[in-house]
Chain A
Amino acid sequence: SQQGEEDPQALSIQEGENATMNCSYKTSINNLQWYRQNSGRGLVHLILIRSNEREKHSGRLRVTLDTSKKSSSLLITASRAADTASYFCATNEKGSGNTGKLIFGQGTTLQVKP
Chain B
Amino acid sequence: GAGVSQSPSNKVTEKGKDVELRCDPISGHTALYWYRQRLGQGLEFLIYFQGNSAPDKSGLPSDRFSAERTGESVSTLTIQRTQQEDSAVYLCASSLWSGGSYEQYFGPGTRLTVT
Contacts and interface: CB of A to CB of B under 8 A. Distances in A.
Q: Does A pair with B?
A: yes
Interface of A: 1-2, 4, 30-31, 33, 35, 42-45, 48, 88, 90, 92, 96-107
Interface residues on B, range: 20 to 34
A2 B33 contact: no
A99 B50 contact: yes
B41 to A, nearest CB: 6
A45 B103 CA distance: 6
Contacts of A98: 98-99
A4 B99 CA distance: 19
B33 A100 contact: yes
Interface stretch (B16-24, B67-75, B105-113): B105-113
A39 to B, nearest CB: 10
Contacts of B107: 42
A88 B104 CA distance: 13
A34 B100 CA distance: 13
A105 B98 contact: no
B45 A44 contact: no
A44 B107 CA distance: 10
B44 A45 contact: no
Nearest to B108: A42
A10 to B, nearest CB: 11
Given A31-B101, A42-B109, A98-B99, A104 B42 contact: yes
B100 A96 contact: yes
A101 B105 CA distance: 13
- Residue from A43, A104, A106 having most chain B Cβ neighbours under 10 A: A43
A99 B42 contact: no
Nearest to A6: B42
B45 A101 contact: yes
A112 B42 CA distance: 21
B50 to A, nearest CB: 7
